[in-house]
Amino acid sequence: MTQKKYDYVIIGGGSAGSVLANRLSADPGNEVLVLEAGRNDHRLDFRIHMPAALTYPLAGKFYNWYYESEPEPYMNNRRIYQPRGKVLGGSSSLNGMIYIRGNAMDYEDWAKNKGLENWSYANCLPYFKRHEYRLMGSDEYQGTGGPMYLTTPKCDNPLFDAFFKSVQEAGYPLTTDVNGYRQEGFGKFDATIYRSRRWNAARAYVHPVLDRGNLEVVLRATATRILFDGKKAIGVEYKQGSSKKRVYGGEIISCGGSINSPQLMQLSGIGNGEELSRLGIDMVNDLPGVGENLADHLELYVQWAAKKPVSLYPSLKFFNQPKIGYQWLFHKKGVAASNHFEAGGFIRSNDKVEYPNLQFHFLPIAIRYDGSAPAAGHGFQLHVGPMKSDVRGHVKIKSADPLKYPAILFNYLSTEKERNEWVEAIRCARNLINQPSFDELRGEELAPGKEAETDEQILDFVAKEGESAYHPSCTCKMGYDNMAVVDTDLKVHGVDNLRIVDASVMPDITNGNIYAPVMMIAEKAADVILGNTPLKPDNAPFYKHDKKETGKN
């Protein structure tokens, strides 16, 4: 057992952990240790670095915790698959590479309604810009000086042309940048892709600074509990192979994500006192909110056959894949160089909501996350799902054994609001595609199909086919109510020298994919941890729907 003491021990080398590893070790006087349970993000492994190969790490266990939920009571008792990155770079090594900040109103709500004034949009915008390098250029909303490269796609398939025309025919606007002034509408989605390769958090933040003498990254090191002296966190116990080790630090920072962080807190005696005592775990601090408030986005594929051979279906044929791989590897182009989530948008499904509550991704192929193609030929699809659901679940350990997975329950479809929004979502998706611009391309609706017309039939289809969008969050939420776990500086309530920095601290889930917000949170946290003067608030204006307006615009 080593007795070396570090200034900072970071648990988890994923998205947030990668940011902190870089920023905290920038001062050579800080000794920084990162404990990552997974492997290295091997540069030569195409499964991670080829954008179009994203189905491989998602479907396999090599780089993946491969979680499943408990039987979901409103989803026909199905266990819903939940991949999480078990690799340097974390889930940024597995995700769809879509870069969505969320809506400005998300952060305004954090500030005004959750008591987190320094997390307003004006306070968060500078930290988004600090980590970005948008390759097509910057404006008052975008950054070009950060380590996170963002590529704006070309959308050069004819199906995208039809899609952008069709949404306007349905009454919705185009927006030049969903991360800029106006999220509401449809446009291109920036991607964390650089020179035709996935640009994960580890490539952006960790690998360029691995030669720093004050930064140490230990792989295949699974944290089993946080060590305390009274209520002061002093170290971490972890398992590496068959060995159990301890390491000590001036500050302990959990960056495990919305499943692993609450699990580690509970194993360490921080959580619901009654539940932990039943498992024989000594209490350090009774915080009933640990593991509660689990939020996610449920999503569904709405698919159509294509009348013309314009989709990416031929790329699925095994005899075409060697050529596709060659083009990507040696020429940095072709089908494999894109994540294919190149376009989409955000709309309000009704006039009662203040800002968009539905997100759409458009794909020029009919395919599932596991790579299977339900259509025996050319097709296309929309991914759709409600963004601001009031559904909440939990993450709870089932035993004191740190290697046993916790019980995860999302409670999808458990509220009237979510059920209503799902009916609206499917009807809106159909309306977007059933416009004149798609008449020459649109074939039969493959899913949900003619069997899902009534509200009840639509909800039955969602229960049978709905999947997680892989956005678990909010399980160690920031705030000051009786279910909050961390304060505005991300310090765990009631203990010393312990912070949580990852998606679990979100007080509410953001409007869209959560990777970009996690990176912003980590950038902001780095300044807080180091005691730096915060970046100056950026009061750039943002779009607000006028409630006096009617219709969809």
CATH, domain range 1-145+199-292+473-533 = 3.50.50.60
In this structure, the number of other CB atoms found within 10 A of the CB of residue 475 comes to 33
Type of residue found at 444: E
- What are the tokens at 97? 């590479």
pLDDT per position as a tens digit, 100-147: 999 999 999 999 999 999 999 999 999 999 999 999 988 899 999 999
40: closest CA among 50, 27, 49, 28?
A: 49
pLDDT per position as a tens digit, 193-224: 999 999 999 999 999 999 999 999 999 999 99
Checking if the pLDDT of 91 tops 50, the result is yes
Strands 243-254 and 498-500: parallel
Query: Which CATH number among 3.30.410.40, 3.20.20.70, 3.40.50.920, 3.40.50.2300 corresponds to the domain 154-188+298-386+413-465?
Result: 3.30.410.40
Q: Which residues contact 420 (CB under 8 A, 6 or more apart)?
A: none
Q: Which of 42, 207, 471, 545 is catalytic?
A: 471
Checking if the pLDDT of 553 tops 60, the result is no
Work out the pLDDT band at 549, boundaries 50, 70, 90: very low
Q: Where are the beta strands (DSSP E) in 77-221?
A: 81-82, 132-134, 148-150, 185-188, 193-194, 197-198, 215-218
User: 1-145+199-292+473-533 and 154-188+298-386+413-465: same fold?
Assistant: no
Q: Which residues contact 77 (CB under 8 A, 6 or more apart)?
A: 71
Q: Where are the beta strands (DSSP E) in 272-367?
A: 285-286, 292-294, 298-306, 343-347, 358-363
Average pLDDT of the chain is: 95
pLDDT score at 372: 61
pLDDT score at 316: 85
Work out the pLDDT band at 550, boundaries 50, 70, 90: very low
The label of the residue with tokens 């909800």 reads 459
> Residue ranges of the domains in the chain?
1-145+199-292+473-533, 154-188+298-386+413-465
Q: Is 471 noted as a catalytic residue in this protein?
A: yes
219: exposed, middle or buried (Cβ count in 10 Å: 0-12, 13-18, 19+): middle
Alpha carbons 486 and 261: distance in angstroms, whole number? 12
Alpha carbons 400 and 275: distance in angstroms, whole number? 11
Does the reported pTM lie above 0.85? yes
Note the maximum CA span of the chain: 70
